[in-house]
Amino acid sequence: MTTVIKNGTIVTHDLTYAADVLIDGETIIEIGENLEGDEVLDATGCYVMPGGIDPHTHLEMPFMGTYSSDDFDSGTRAALAGGTTMVVDFALPQPGQGLLDALKTWDNKSARAHCDYSFHMAVTWWSEQVFDEMKTVIEQYGINSFKHFMAYKGALMVQDDEMYASFQRLAELGAIALVHAENGDVVADLSARLLREGNDGPEGHAYSRPPQVEGEATNRAIMIADMAGVPLYVVHVSCEQSHEAIRRARQAGMRVWGEPLIQHLTLDESEYFNEDWDHSARRVMSPPFRDEKHQDSLWAGLQSGSLSCVATDHCAFTTEQKRTGIGDFTKIPNGTGGLEDRMPMLWTYGVGTGRLTPNEFVAVTSTNSAKILNCYPKKGAILVGSDADIVVLDPEKEKTISAKTQESSIDYNVFEGKHVKGLPRYVLSRGRVMVDDGVLKPSEGHGRFVKRRPQGEVNRALTSWKDMTKPRPVERSGIPASGV
Ligand SMILES: NC(=O)NCCC(=O)O
Ligand SMILES: [Zn+2]
Ligand SMILES: [Zn+2]
């Protein structure tokens, strides 16, 4: 069966033009004028854009003694409702658990997905088994990105020597390294001190993670990645100190990308000083929200290209789960939601204010992620041959965000009360209409795993450069070469 999207304006990361889009089954087969199809979707007054890709989610994640509440069912319903057609989650081995073993668990969880998905693999400990299994994960499973936590001491955190070993292995295998960049030792020490001094409320969480802990760790990860010769992707960049390190590295020719979250762009630290404990605890995440100066830096990074992708880090906990931390902020499960709101919030506060162009919006919500993660142009594109993952965005459609009407299973929304303008009229996932005239029509199990091959362009370029510039012995006449 064919479907045609008619009368809209196509907006990609680099072009804006009027044309119809013809889809056969799961794939875009033609783009042009006056196209006909079995089913017609009218996009008059709308922008026809690549479906959003959220490169950072945690659905049903085991974390801090509980599980994040949105699973691949409610999480991907929320994604589609907001115009996101692919999520990239994290397979997370417990320290001591094999990578392949952890992948089995994530495979089971994701069977319920309504939209396509992929996984990053987390490296939470280091051993010969991890070293060996990395190759299988990359070559057989099609996962080319590996996350390292520099925080969460005593749980997920890895040490510098483990990170360096892992980064070298990734360079050799043509994958990319991801980091959660916060100095976990300093955070642990500051947290203990704050608790001793009676700072046990949610604001203590923000005090325990000042921008310096993020700036230091980002810089350290960048230097270690450069020495290992691996491209680096820094997740949830929240502050100028971290952004500055990324900007500086990029200007020096290093292959580094930065990912701000929609939460850090639009919510600030005053949330932690609310007199209502629940209000503040619901917003506890790492890194914490910052002030306006840092927000301006993140927006400027998206405008100038020093920051590349806007994500959510969707890791949603109910109020009841958050209350585990009453009397000790270090026990409040870290994480916030945002999957349904990322695209409308970024359109409203980015495009709606003139901070971003529509093309830049597409780049940072979809295309850049697809390129970095090596699934472009199957994903992140409106091109003949691409998957028909499409959002038809009506710039006049508006709503006020409310937990009462959201797909997420939790009992609140950190964006509650925000008025957004620019919402999906249609959302297609591999050709299937999942949002029809603004109404979600979910389909459990429709989502498929997206394999991503190693040795993307940036890996190949970096490997050539590192090879060309690697240390070589100086040949000296009369002195025999040693050992070789
Ligand atoms: N970000 C956060 O607070 N929770 C999710 C896990 C992580 O990404 O650190
Ligand atoms: Zn993180
Ligand atoms: Zn995360």
pLDDT in tens, 379-403: 999 999 999 999 999 999 999 999 9
Q: Which residue puts its alpha carbon closest to atom 5 of ligand 1?
A: 335
Dihedral, CA of residue 369, residue 266, residue 194 and residue 163, to nearest 10: 10
Neighbours of ion ligand 2 (CB under 5 A): 180
> How many angstroms separate the alpha carbon of residue 117 from the centre of ligand 3?
15
Q: Return the DSSP state at 355.
A: S
pLDDT confidence bin for 328, thresholds 50/70/90: very high
Q: Which residue puts its alpha carbon closest to atom 8 of ligand 1?
A: 313
Q: Does the CB atom of residue 433 touch ligand 1 within 6 A?
A: no
Q: Does the CB atom of residue 335 touch ligand 1 within 6 A?
A: yes
217 SS3 class: helix
User: Is 90 exceeded by the pLDDT of residue 335?
Assistant: yes
Q: Which long-range contacts (CB under 8 A, 24 or more apart) does 460-468 make?
A: 460/174, 461/255, 462/171, 462/229, 462/230, 462/231, 462/255, 463/171, 463/174, 463/229, 466/171, 466/229
Q: Does the CB atom of residue 58 touch ligand 1 within 6 A?
A: yes
Q: Return the DSSP state at 288.
A: P
Dihedral, CA of residue 297, residue 300, residue 305 and residue 311, to nearest 10: 70
Task: Look at the alpha carbons of 386, 361, 226, 147 in this order and tell me if their dihedral is positive or negative.
Answer: negative
- pLDDT value of position 331: 98
> How many angstroms separate the alpha carbon of residue 234 from the centre of ligand 2?
10
Distance of CA 63 to the CA centre of its chain: 18
Q: Which residue puts its alpha carbon closest to atom 2 of ligand 1?
A: 335
- Nearest-atom number in ligand 1 for the CA of 235 is 8
- pLDDT value of position 75: 98
- Nearest-atom number in ligand 1 for the CA of 286 is 3
Nearest to 242 by CA among 275, 225, 224, 220: 220
> How many angstroms separate the alpha carbon of residue 237 from the centre of ligand 1?
12
What average pLDDT does this structure show over 290-300? 98
| Alpha carbons 446 and 437: distance in angstroms, whole number | 20
> How many angstroms separate the alpha carbon of residue 435 from the centre of ligand 1?
29
> How many angstroms separate the alpha carbon of residue 125 from the centre of ligand 2?
16
- pLDDT value of position 480: 76
Residue among 242, 261, 331, 334 to mutate when testing ligand 1 (max atoms within 8 A of CB): 334
Q: Which residue puts its alpha carbon closest to atom 1 of ligand 1?
A: 286
- pLDDT value of position 483: 60
Ligand nearest to the CA of 63: 1
End-to-end Cα separation, the chain, in angstroms = 65
User: Is 90 exceeded by the pLDDT of residue 46?
Assistant: yes
Among 39-48, 101-110, 190-199, whose mean pLDDT is lowest?
A: 101-110
| Alpha carbons 402 and 10: distance in angstroms, whole number | 30
- pLDDT value of position 95: 84
Cβ partners under 8 Å of residue 252, min gap 6: none
Strands of the sheet with 27-32, listed across from one edge: 27-32, 20-24, 2-6, 39-42
Q: Which contiguous run of DSSP H or E holds residue 293?
A: helix 292-304
pLDDT in tens, 103-161: 999 999 999 999 999 999 999 999 999 999 999 999 999 999 999 999 999 999 999 99
> How many angstroms separate the alpha carbon of residue 406 from the centre of ligand 1?
21
Ligand nearest to the CA of 284: 1
ipTM of the complex: 0.99
| Alpha carbons 172 and 116: distance in angstroms, whole number | 29
| Alpha carbons 396 and 174: distance in angstroms, whole number | 44
Residue among 208, 286, 330 to mutate when testing ligand 1 (max atoms within 8 A of CB): 286
Q: Are 20 and 35 in contact (CB under 8 A)?
A: yes
- pLDDT value of position 253: 97
Half-sphere exposure of 51 (CA within 13 A, CB side): 34
Q: Does the CB atom of residue 286 touch ligand 1 within 6 A?
A: yes
- The pLDDT mean for the chain works out to 97
| Alpha carbons 248 and 402: distance in angstroms, whole number | 39
- pLDDT value of position 478: 87
What average pLDDT does this structure show over 208-214? 98
> How many angstroms separate the alpha carbon of residue 154 from the centre of ligand 1?
15
Q: Are 175 and 453 in contact (CB under 8 A)?
A: no
Q: Does the CB atom of residue 315 touch ligand 1 within 6 A?
A: yes
What average pLDDT does this structure show over 364-393? 98
| Alpha carbons 264 and 56: distance in angstroms, whole number | 14
Cis peptide before 231 (omega within 30 of 0): no
- pLDDT value of position 484: 53
> How many angstroms separate the alpha carbon of residue 110 from the centre of ligand 1?
19
Q: Does the CB atom of residue 285 touch ligand 1 within 6 A?
A: yes
Q: Give the rounded percent of residues in the chain with a pLDDT score beyond 90.
A: 98
Residue among 54, 285, 314 to mutate when testing ligand 1 (max atoms within 8 A of CB): 285
Q: Which residue puts its alpha carbon closest to atom 9 of ligand 1?
A: 286
Token pair of 155, please?
A: 């749980």
pLDDT in tens, 404-453: 999 999 999 999 999 999 999 999 999 999 999 999 999 999 999 999 99
Q: Does the CB atom of residue 180 touch ligand 1 within 6 A?
A: yes
Residue among 124, 182, 236 to mutate when testing ligand 1 (max atoms within 8 A of CB): 236
Q: Which residue puts its alpha carbon closest to atom 4 of ligand 1?
A: 335
- Nearest-atom number in ligand 1 for the CA of 284 is 3
Reported residue count of the chain is 484
